[in-house]
Amino acid sequence: MNYRLFEVFHAVMLSGTVSSAAAELGVSQPSVTKSIKQLESELGYLLFDRISGRLQPTPAALVLLKETERARSAFEDLTASALRLRSGASRHLRIVTTPALGLDLVPDAVMAFRSTDPEMRFTISTRHSGEVLSEISRPAYGFDMGLVFDASTRSVSVGAIPIGQVPVVCVSKRGTLGDISAEELGKTLFQHELVALEATEPLGRMLAEIGVAAGWRGDPLLRVQTYQMACSLAQRGAGLAIVDAMSAIHAAEHDPGIDLHALPKALTLPVNMVYPLGKGLDVPVRALIDDLSASLRKRLAVMSKRMESR
């Protein structure tokens, strides 16, 4: 199947009309129409309904658009890599991480790595946990490694290496809980208004299970996907946020209006480096793992000092 047909399809989807797509591609309108009909014929299903002379994308076209954009991104990466090979600059790490681990852990590790290897190229993207695992399971799209809290739901094509464990803590607006002890907070936690996390996130699943055991109704007024937003809402008095230590200490460092509270149970989240088994681990990736582990230990030391000073 000719890749050019998908380029034409992509142009029509983004521009909305055959004429605009033809102008963008520098070809005639009949050529665009012919390409779309050829692609539909080869695929065996319609991509557009023709209503009153206008093209209306079918549900299949909307799905195909996402995959086409992935393929375009991969082709752009391939082109960039090929050009770098010409100049001898072929060393490049592509990392995909969850937002929480991308706040400080990844930047600290990357800078530590670059202190000894300043010529290494990095491309760093952020996705939510499930999306990171999905991206890593697609080695054709070029990610060398990913970082997630819990890799237990990964596919068989994804490998995982533990980096460490991160404590789970409570974040509140300054003064809301006073000097409450960890034991007392543990007893009353689910009696407070909580900024809950989506169950698609590892910590969201963990808290939902603990809450059910504690008789929590599990129907919060606020539910979010990112740990940073949970901290931000807690700072505004919307409720208590139960988040990982990385997100908590980052929020506290940038906002004096936040209190951090230890929880009675030693709740932790595993931090995992994930990678496509089909590609294996390059030497630079192995070196970066050491920097990630060292960065995690440093951030946890900051967290411990902060909690002890309360």
Q: What are the extents of the domains in the chain? A: 3-82, 90-164+270-308, 167-268
Average pLDDT over residues 14-34: 91
> Would the CATH topology of 90-164+270-308 be identical to that of 167-268?
yes
Q: How far is Cα 5 from Cα 1, in angstroms, rounded to an integer? A: 8
> With a threshold of 0.85, does the pTM exceed it?
no
The rounded Cα 245 to chain-centroid distance in angstroms is: 17
Q: Which two tokens stand for residue 12?
A: 């029509």
Question: Residue 265 has what pLDDT?
Answer: 74
- Contact present, 80 and 273 (Cβ < 8 Å): no
pLDDT tens-digit profile of 153-207? 898 889 999 999 999 999 999 999 988 888 888 888 888 999 999 988 889 888 8
Average pLDDT, the chain: 88
Which is nearest to 124 in space by CA: 101, 140, 157, 150? 101
Average pLDDT over residues 206-230: 86
**Right CATH for 3-82 from 2.60.120.10, 3.40.50.620, 3.40.50.2300, 1.10.10.10:** 1.10.10.10
Q: What residues contact residue 259 under an 8 Å CB cut-off, 6+ apart?
A: 171, 172, 173, 174, 175, 176, 177, 310
pLDDT tens-digit profile of 231-270? 999 999 999 999 999 999 999 998 889 999 988 877 899 9
Q: Hey, what's the torsion of the CAs at 4, 1, 132, 238, to 10 degrees?
A: 60
Instruction: Indicate the pLDDT class of residue 222, thresholds 50, 70 and 90.
Output: very high
Question: Residue 305 has what pLDDT?
Answer: 83
Instruction: Indicate the pLDDT class of residue 45, thresholds 50, 70 and 90.
Output: very high
Q: In the chain, what percentage of residues exceed pLDDT 70?
A: 94
Question: Residue 83 has what pLDDT?
Answer: 66
Residue 122: CB atoms within 10 A of its CB come to 15
Q: Poorest-confidence range of 6-15, 205-214, 243-252?
A: 205-214
Q: How far is Cα 177 from Cα 195, in angstroms, rounded to an integer? A: 15
Task: Considering the domain delimited by 90-164+270-308, tell me its CATH architecture.
Answer: 3-Layer(aba) Sandwich (3.40)
pLDDT tens-digit profile of 82-102? 765 665 445 788 899 999 999
Sign of the C-alpha dihedral computed for residues 38, 42, 47 and 50 taken in this order: positive
Q: How far is CA 309 from CA 87, 259, 302, in A?
A: 53, 12, 11
Q: How far is Cα 185 from Cα 236, in angstroms, rounded to an integer? A: 20
Q: Poorest-confidence range of 75-84, 145-154, 291-300?
A: 75-84
Res. 288: pLDDT tops 90: yes
**Right CATH for 167-268 from 3.40.190.10, 3.90.1150.10, 3.30.70.260, 3.40.50.12780:** 3.40.190.10
More confident of the two residues 100 and 303: 100
Residue 283: CB atoms within 10 A of its CB come to 8
More confident of the two residues 288 and 140: 288
φ and ψ of 164, to 5 deg: 165, -170
Q: How far is Cα 183 from Cα 199, in angstroms, rounded to an integer? A: 26
pLDDT tens-digit profile of 103-142? 999 999 999 999 999 988 899 999 998 899 988 987 565 6
Instruction: Indicate the pLDDT class of residue 279, thresholds 50, 70 and 90.
Output: confident
Question: Residue 105 has what pLDDT?
Answer: 95
Question: Residue 137 has what pLDDT?
Answer: 86
Res. 224: pLDDT tops 90: yes
- Contact present, 273 and 292 (Cβ < 8 Å): yes
Question: Residue 85 has what pLDDT?
Answer: 60
